[in-house]
Chain A
Amino acid sequence: MEQVLIFFFTYKEAIFIIALSIFLGIEVISHVPAVLHTPLMSGANAISGVIIIGGIILVGHADLSHFSLSLVLGILALIFATLNVVGGFAVTDRMLEMFKKKKSRKL
């Protein structure tokens, strides 16, 4: 018990963030209509590209004085993350545009 309490106190901020984000995630999308399942999934997918910040930090502080495998992999990570972010948001926008187009035509 004491161990658990020590762990909790040490990481209380992180635990608060996790607990509240899970709740928030469930709350925010729980009543989404089926029409939006695909765009929601693809938009959420783009948000998970937030790992791009890690990529920027990684490559940003990489040692450039000599060639290294880490630098190559870091750049690769950055390219992958960008694909996820840019591609994800772009394709979601394209899908949602289709939904919108019909709406306005009807009016």
Chain B
Amino acid sequence: MNEIIGTLNGVDFTLGDSILELSYLIAALLFVWGLKLLSHPETARGGNLWAAAGMGLAMLTTLLLHKDHAGNGIPLTNVWIILSAIGIGSVIGWIVAMRVKMTAMPQLVSLYNATGGAASALVALLEFPNAVAGNFTSLLVTVLGLIIGSVAFSGSMIAYGKLDGKVGDIFAGYMKYINIILMLVTLALGAYLVFSGIPPTELTWGIYLLLALSLLYGVMFVMPIGGADMPVVISLLNALTGIAAAMGGFIYSNEAMILGGILVGAAGMILTMLMCKAMNRSLLNVIIGSFGGGGESITHEQGTIKEIQLSDASILLSYSKQVVIIPGYGLAAAQAQHAVHELEMLLESKGVSVRYAIHPVAGRMPGHMNVLLAESDVQYEKLIEMEHINPDMPNVDVAIVIGANDVVNPAAYDDPGSPIYGMPIINAHLAKNIIILKRGMGKGYAGIENFLFFNDKTRMLFGDAKSSLQKLTNEIKSM
């Protein structure tokens, strides 16, 4: 492996060097291939495994064949340390991944995203002293890697805390100014570290200060963002982690890292845009977080709320032809995914056609409802996307809204003053009857009155979603 097989630009290279680079090429191709397969339901699982294989290959060849500038390979002691660290990470990562409940999936994705960001930030931090003074690019990629990685880390940790109910939303109007100032200070310090011309070894204070500022910015940036905006934030943080990894790739001139990182960054940005589009809001609007402070809305156009008895609801459902279930975050919060599937199967056995209408931002992460319902074995042919179900809504006999609020609020059509005005919604209000399962009369996440509740066709079924569904199922069975 150490035999010199050629010379490029005056530098000798060995067989090992060549094989290492070749393995990076294969790894990069496997990432692309894996991601490609991941975007089709039939091939997704294979795609994930191919990408994992690419990662394994790159790790193995790096361990065996990587050489430092002096041409020394990785010493055996270091190999053992590396293997131990990877061993620890693998065991923990695997156990957590296998044990976590499906309802906790958004938290876990955030948590793993945080660890990726942390790793990128640490690598940049430790490579900073090795960057060459005056070398604009090597300093720039290191500083950017540190900032982006840190923001992704602390931001994802806060997102994790919020999703897990450990961290509340803190929102104050002045926070947006603090955030802008904080961001500018962070960028200014970063620019100073890059352009000052002072050798990085003498700037230790600066890089640690930059780390602290970036971490703080990540916290402050996610803190005011409400739960309904979580799908946007999670995808954005995911994109940031990818970009941070790409910066790491530039530090080591490693094309597999660059390509993998940028690929994830681009994919994350697309998801972010999709989520923004589904909420009819710009990315800037989500980040600055002006939700809840919308213009004058017609909040007092209240009618009366009409409740429905279990027996009436059961009769209504049993004699329907078409039922559409519209789930939201409340379904996940009440862990009612199995209960709803039971009701669905019971109704199907009585000849009622049951489908689920999935809003792109229902829940707390992109695709949240799909994963949740997949866990309870709902066939995914029954999960209908918003734009496909909407034309059909007038023919639907009963729309059951479970723990969803803003995504069915007709204020999006009727009230130009509402913060959600213009957001595409599922047209539950067009169904012949509407049953809303709700814990109490609280407002939705955006804090807006839901006009749907006061619709003449609407009946409310108060109570915990899970127990309401179970009672409903039993009632229908006993009919």
Contacts and interface: CB of A to CB of B under 8 A. Distances in A.
B123 A54 contact: yes
Contacts of A23: 266
A32 B268 CA distance: 12
A101 B77 CA distance: 44
* Pairs of residues from A and B, 10 with the lowest C-beta to C-beta distance, nearest first: A82-B89, A25-B266, A37-B367, A87-B93, A37-B366, A60-B74, A38-B367, A77-B122, A90-B97, A21-B262
B245 A51 contact: yes
B52 A102 contact: no
Contacts, number: 356
Nearest to A63: B78
A102 B358 CA distance: 18
B116 A93 contact: no
Interface of A: 11, 14, 17-18, 21-26, 28-62, 64, 70, 73-103, 105-106
A75 B85 contact: yes
A94 B55 CA distance: 18
Interface string B115-158: 11011101101110000000001000000000000000000000
Which residue of A59, A73, A85, A100 has the most chain B CB atoms within 10 A of its CB atom? A85
Given A18-B262, A39-B38, A61 B68 contact: yes
B109 A25 contact: no
B312 interface: no
A18 B366 contact: no
A48 B245 contact: yes
A87 B97 CA distance: 6
B374 A98 contact: yes
Given A41-B365, A78-B85, A106-B379, A28 B35 contact: yes
Given A21-B262, A41-B238, A97-B45, A51 B62 contact: no
Given A75-B81, A79-B85, A93-B49, A60 B63 contact: yes
B31 to A, nearest CB: 5
